[in-house]
Amino acid sequence: MKIEVKNLTKVFKKNKVLDNISINFEEGKIYGLIGRNGSGKSVFLKLLCAFLSPTSGEILFDGKNIIKEQEFPPETRALIEKPSFLNDLSGYENLKLLASIQNTIGDKEIFDTLSKVELLPDKDKKYSEYSLGMKQKLGIAQVLMENPRVIILDEPFNGVEDKTADSLRKILLEEKNNNKIIIIATHIKEDIVTLVDELYKFDGGNITKEENI
């Protein structure tokens, strides 16, 4: 899998959020995107997922133009901004409901993923009773459970205690070793600096590669 972003620009009214950005993502690597809130990171991730259309430019997944096709990219899962689930369902029931859309996994994969993010003991607790950290972990479980080739995470360490953050880093490194493309956006560089292979900074609509990680 390879993702090619070519001359990507996004303008909202007269505000140019992204200005002629080009970047490639290859499998077996973790990419970090840093920048202050409002720097365009989340907009960029939404464009990668075809949730938004660019003002100009192309995004290719293995040569397939997802902008032209106007469809969610293949073999991709994403957690962008705050995770959102049904409050009256348990953590397990929420994942089961989402898994039924593609119907490619069963309870074993769901339970294995819940165990991986340390939520298995709380699988039957209602989502409304989850703490912020637990909600974040359920969102990450939703991304991982169907074994996608591309993993996109927006502020994945938000509200997560240090111990869990370390566990999540270990999980992401395992996913990287399985030849996944992992893209992580955060405004806190320290959260990902030991994790990423390449680091890019968003500022003023532009993106620059950080050479010294």
User: Comparing 187 with 128, which gets the higher pLDDT?
Assistant: 128
| Whole-number pLDDT of residue 22 | 96
Average confidence (pLDDT) over 101-110: 95
DSSP state of 127: G
User: Comparing 133 with 107, which gets the higher pLDDT?
Assistant: 107
User: Is the confidence at residue 210, as pLDDT, over 80?
Assistant: yes
Burial letters 95-130, b for 16+ CB under 10 A, else e: bbebbeeeeebeeebbeebbebbbbbebbeebbeeb
| Whole-number pLDDT of residue 36 | 86
Query: For residue 94, what are its two tokens?
Result: 């929420």
Average pLDDT along the chain? 92
| Whole-number pLDDT of residue 164 | 82
By mean pLDDT, which of 62-71, 84-93, 131-140, 166-175 is the weakest?
A: 62-71
Q: Which domains does the chain have, with CATH numbers?
A: 1-75+150-160+178-213 (3.40.50.300), 83-147 (no CATH)
β pairing state of 206-210 and 198-203: antiparallel
- Measured CA to CA, the distance from residue 93 to residue 115 in angstroms comes to 15
pLDDT digits (tens, 9 = 90+) for 32-76: 999 988 888 999 999 999 999 999 999 999 998 988 877 889 899
| Whole-number pLDDT of residue 59 | 94
pTM: 0.93
| Whole-number pLDDT of residue 181 | 97
Concatenated DSSP letters of 19-35? EEEEEEEETTEEEEEE-
Q: Residue 107: pLDDT band by 50, 70, 90 thresholds?
A: very high
| Whole-number pLDDT of residue 160 | 80
User: Is the confidence at residue 165, as pLDDT, over 90?
Assistant: no
pLDDT digits (tens, 9 = 90+) for 113-162: 999 999 999 999 999 999 888 998 999 999 999 999 999 999 998 878 88
Q: Which position has the token pair 């566990």?
A: 167
